Copies of this chain bind each other. A is one copy, B any other.
Amino acid sequence: MVGYRRNKWTAEEEGALLAGICKHGAGKWLNILEDPEFRPQLLYRSNIDLKDKWRNMKIKEKSMTQTLDSASISISPCKDFAFSK
């Protein structure tokens, strides 16, 4: 379509997504979107966008795993986020 452009994810959006996953769980995309805690940062994203982004982030992480393993480093997806239950 004319004027169409891809919308790249910002660091802020990624942070809101990760925090949302930690709070609601992966797969609860609409819950994350509707949470007042994350909605402001994710206004221009759909639940499908969240799902697709999480998949891409997991792929990226997986491609880094071997490097991290060899350095004895492990990642905890939620350790950097504080949120209300």
Chain A contacts to B: CB under 8 angstroms: 1, 4, 25, 27
**Other-chain residue from B1, B25, B27 in contact with A27 (beta carbon distance below 8 A):** B1
How many subunits of this chain does the assembly comprise?
2
Distance of A41 from chain B, by nearest CB (Å)? 25
Instruction: Name A's interface SS.
Output: loop
A-B contact pairs, 3 of them (CB 8 A): A1-B25, A1-B27, A4-B27
* Chain B hits for A4, CB < 8 A: 27
Bound Cα distance from A60 to B4, whole angstroms: 21
Bound Cα distance from A25 to B1, whole angstroms: 8
Bound Cα distance from A27 to B25, whole angstroms: 35
Distance of A2 from chain B, by nearest CB (Å)? 9
